[in-house]
Amino acid sequence: MQRLILKNKNQIALINGVLIASGFLAKWTISNMVIFEWSLILASILGALPIIIQAYQSLRVKVVSIDVLVTIAVTGAFLIQNFEEAAIVTFLFLFGAYLEQRTLNKTRSAIKALTEMAPESALKRMEDGEFEEVEVDEVDVGDVLLVKTGAKVPVDGTVLIGEGSINEASITGESIPVAKEKGSSVFAGTILDNGTIQIVADRVGEDTTFGRIIELVEEAQDSKSEAERFIDRFSKYYTPTVLVIAFIVWLFSHNIELAITILVLGCPGALVIGVPVSNVAGIGNGASHGILLKGSEVIRDFSRLDTIVFDKTGTLTVGNPSVSDKVHYGDNIDEALEYLASVERESDHPLAKAVLEEIGQTTFSEVTNTEVVKGGGIVANVDGNRIAVGNVALMERENVDLSEKAKENIALFEESGNSLVLTSVNGELKILMGIRDQIRPGVKEDLKQLKKLGVKNLIMLSGDNQGTVDVISRELGLTEAYGNMLPEDKSAYVKKLIEEKGKIVAFVGDGVNDSPSLALANIGIAMGSGTDVAIETSDVVLMNSDFSRLPHALGLVKATARNMVQNIVIAIGVVLILLASVLFSEWMNMSIGMLVHEGSILVVILNGMRLLSYNLKSK
């Protein structure tokens, strides 16, 4: 019976409202006080049933909830035959609960929308080579799947055959389609706008990027911040205190109606709901913009930070070295480029890859007598020519004559933060290339935005040489920058900032070597395409490694923190005004108090819901 009553609580509220309306209609139109009184009695009893059940359930677990206060108030009003206020209070309480649930559901719209994007089936290649539709749970790592136009990608995988464009809004928050071809990575939950592709499954089920997003967001929305835990403890003692105050008022004034009114006005509903709704809305907004905030506690610390420490490679820079400057010397440069490409093809060094990408399509020749010079480069024979590829030290070892012009270029390249690749043919310098990791597009503007949001210190730590670090630091306008840093050096520096200088520090990184610093910082922020370890040890994840999400994330948590304070002020302010009104005015009664009480709950919910539409660009 209890389940049936609670299940139909909204219908009971509707019947309650109809009975109250019928009673007043009978009183005002035909002056029938019998219908008026019995309509209110039935409305009071019917409306009190779900409230009494909820009060009983809370008392069973030794909690004096709002339902207990309302139950006592309604029972008292009924006993003193104030049926009008008893009926109206039950209706307002039930109707308010309905509106609360409806509006609260909207604050969870982001995670609900994400969940609905989860793929349910996949076209799997069977042993006979044909594709058959199966449940997504039946897909294993290594299976080959077919994805057609308009279909959801069922797993994280790699394109084997075909090409097309995919809407990755569920992962990155960006709706602009991304072109995919053979070798491209695709993510579960994204949608193939056009084209047909076959993919091999790399991650399935909860291990997919999409599955982890849903899991992290759900955990975050269910978590409680320090403020929420405080309010839970506060309401645990506050509600019984209101009960005691009401009893004392009745004891000294012998005014049972005044005591009952105090019970209704003292309900802490808006205070209890205000902080959670802000947190849930803030986390939901982040999820819809490709930002995972791992819990309510993250919001508090993140909103107060004054220092952000960045790893360089893959965070402030693209993480993919490329040729930024080059100079040729003498004749037969095309031939020298072919020799250079042939030698670099033998190497797996990141700089070699950058050189090959710069040269592009060319003719390769056989390479013989290869000698790797430690800390210098490579010396080899190509078509009977002695080719040396490496740094200045290697050129000196090979007795290559460096002209004054070449020395000037070398110095200029080094000042620009380049790593040098020199190429000589038979002892004559032919090619000088400067290679460096390019700064992420838009990072400079994003860092300026972070400063506007109150971040005082922007610090870069890198394992690269100090010269390169200084160049990037000057270009980006960083506060401090340190090179030649090992992972333990980075974590020690973060620890020093927190413990000795009292800074509230966020660390932004993407690699395994960043994990100690991510875990040690007050807030660890991982780039979404980084390693699993970095993502798991972080507090915030920027999906798709989109650095531009960082200013939005900081602006969002600051707005969420402000929103929480606003809701607390609204909730406490309304209770104080109501209590003052009942003590120092004659117009306040139980019905008006309940109406204002429910109104305050809706105000804090609607205030929290504003965060769902928060956008830093509009600020």
DSSP 181-222: -TT-EE-TT-EEEEEEEEEEEEE-GGGSHHHHHHHHHHHHHH
By annotation, the residues acting in catalysis are: 311
Higher pLDDT, 403 or 113: 403
Mean pLDDT of 42-58: 83
Q: Is there a single domain that holds both residue 98 and residue 247?
A: yes
Q: pLDDT band at residue 31, thresholds of 50, 70 and 90?
A: confident
Question: Quick one: DSSP state of residue 442?
Answer: T
Q: Is there a single domain that holds both residue 190 and residue 235?
A: no
Residue 451 within any structural domain of the chain = yes
Q: Is a pLDDT exceeding 80 seen at residue 617? A: no
Higher pLDDT, 38 or 221: 38
pLDDT at 18: 85
Higher pLDDT, 424 or 62: 424
Mean pLDDT of 387-413: 89
Q: Is there a single domain that holds both residue 580 and residue 609?
A: yes
d(CA 373, CA 11): 83
Q: Is a pLDDT exceeding 90 seen at residue 511? A: no
Mean pLDDT of 579-586: 75
pLDDT at 530: 47
Q: Is there a single domain that holds both residue 428 and residue 327?
A: yes
Q: Alpha helices, DSSP H only, in 329-416? A: 333-344, 350-359, 392-397, 404-415
Question: Quick one: DSSP state of residue 332?
Answer: -
- The domain boundary residue, chosen from 378, 404, 436: 436
Mean pLDDT of 316-327: 83
Q: Is a pLDDT exceeding 60 seen at residue 175? A: no
Nearest Cα neighbor of 279 from 247, 303, 309 is: 303
d(CA 279, CA 297): 9
Q: Is there a single domain that holds both residue 101 and residue 235?
A: yes
Residue 210 within any structural domain of the chain = no
Name which of 391-405, 423-437, 521-535 the model is least confident about.
Answer: 521-535
Q: Is there a single domain that holds both residue 14 and residue 39?
A: yes
d(CA 392, CA 60): 80
Q: Is a pLDDT exceeding 60 seen at residue 289? A: yes
Asked whether the beta carbons of 466 and 484 are under 8 A apart, the reply is yes
Q: Is a pLDDT exceeding 90 seen at residue 510? A: no
117-126, Cβ contacts within 8 angstroms, sequence gap of 24 or more: 117/152, 117/170, 117/189, 117/210, 118/188, 118/189, 118/210, 118/211, 118/214, 119/152, 119/153, 119/154, 119/155, 119/188, 119/189, 121/154, 122/154, 122/155, 123/147, 123/148, 123/151, 125/198
Q: Is a pLDDT exceeding 70 seen at residue 473? A: yes
pLDDT at 537: 63
d(CA 104, CA 97): 10
Cβ neighbour number for residue 79 with a 10 Å cutoff: 11
Cβ neighbour number for residue 499 with a 10 Å cutoff: 9
d(CA 153, CA 145): 9
pLDDT at 208: 76
Residue 572 within any structural domain of the chain = yes
Q: How many helices (H) and strands (E) does the chain have?
A: 23, 20
Find all residues with CB under 8 Å of 374, minimum gap 6, and list them: none
Q: Is there a single domain that holds both residue 229 and residue 187?
A: no
d(CA 258, CA 14): 28
Asked whether the beta carbons of 172 and 290 are under 8 A apart, the reply is yes
> Which amino acid, 345?
R
d(CA 16, CA 24): 13
Mean pLDDT of 430-453: 89
Let me know if 76 is exposed, middle or buried by CB neighbors in 10 A (0-12, 13-18, 19+): buried
Mean pLDDT of 79-101: 72
- Whole-angstrom CA distances from 74 to 40, 81, 213, 262 are 12, 10, 45, 12
β-partners of residue 459 are 309, 480
d(CA 605, CA 513): 42
Residue 213 within any structural domain of the chain = no
Pairing of strands 457-461, 307-311: parallel
Q: Is a pLDDT exceeding 90 seen at residue 447? A: yes
Residue 214 within any structural domain of the chain = no
Residue 256 within any structural domain of the chain = yes
> Which amino acid, 93?
F
Q: Is a pLDDT exceeding 90 seen at residue 429? A: yes
Asked whether the beta carbons of 337 and 373 are under 8 A apart, the reply is no
Domain count, the chain: 4
Name which of 288-302, 360-374, 380-394, 555-569 the model is least confident about.
Answer: 288-302
Place of tokens 């007050």: 522
pLDDT at 220: 46
Q: Is there a single domain that holds both residue 28 and residue 86?
A: yes
CATH number, position 519: 3.40.50.1000
d(CA 134, CA 125): 10
pLDDT at 115: 61
Q: Which domain holds residue 517?
A: 291-316+446-545
Q: Is there a single domain that holds both residue 450 and residue 502?
A: yes
Q: Is there a single domain that holds both residue 530 and residue 593?
A: no
Residue 238 within any structural domain of the chain = yes
Higher pLDDT, 539 or 77: 539
Higher pLDDT, 267 or 288: 288
CATH number, position 125: 2.70.150.10
As a 3-state breakdown, the chain gives helix, strand, coil percent values, each rounded to 5, of: 55, 20, 25
Asked whether the beta carbons of 502 and 304 are under 8 A apart, the reply is no
Q: Is there a single domain that holds both residue 386 and residue 413?
A: yes
Q: Is a pLDDT exceeding 90 seen at residue 512? A: no
Mean residue pLDDT of the chain comes to 80
pLDDT at 251: 81
Backbone angles phi, psi at 197, to 5 degrees: -135, 155
Q: Is a pLDDT exceeding 60 seen at residue 106? A: no
Percent of the chain residues past pLDDT 90, beyond the cut: 16
Q: Is a pLDDT exceeding 50 seen at residue 221? A: no
Question: Quick one: DSSP state of residue 319?
Answer: S
Mean pLDDT of 570-581: 81
CATH number, position 349: 3.40.1110.10
Sign of CA dihedral 440, 446, 448, 453: negative
Mean pLDDT of 534-543: 72
Name which of 112-121, 139-148, 549-558 the model is least confident about.
Answer: 112-121
Q: pLDDT band at residue 43, thresholds of 50, 70 and 90?
A: confident
pLDDT at 431: 93
Q: Is there a single domain that holds both residue 427 and residue 521?
A: no
Q: Is a pLDDT exceeding 60 seen at residue 480? A: yes
- The domain boundary residue, chosen from 436, 458, 492: 436
β-partners of residue 428 are 425
pLDDT at 478: 93
Mean pLDDT of 557-573: 88
Residue 408 within any structural domain of the chain = yes
Q: Is a pLDDT exceeding 50 seen at residue 531? A: no
Asked whether the beta carbons of 563 and 607 are under 8 A apart, the reply is yes
- The domain boundary residue, chosen from 516, 545, 574: 545
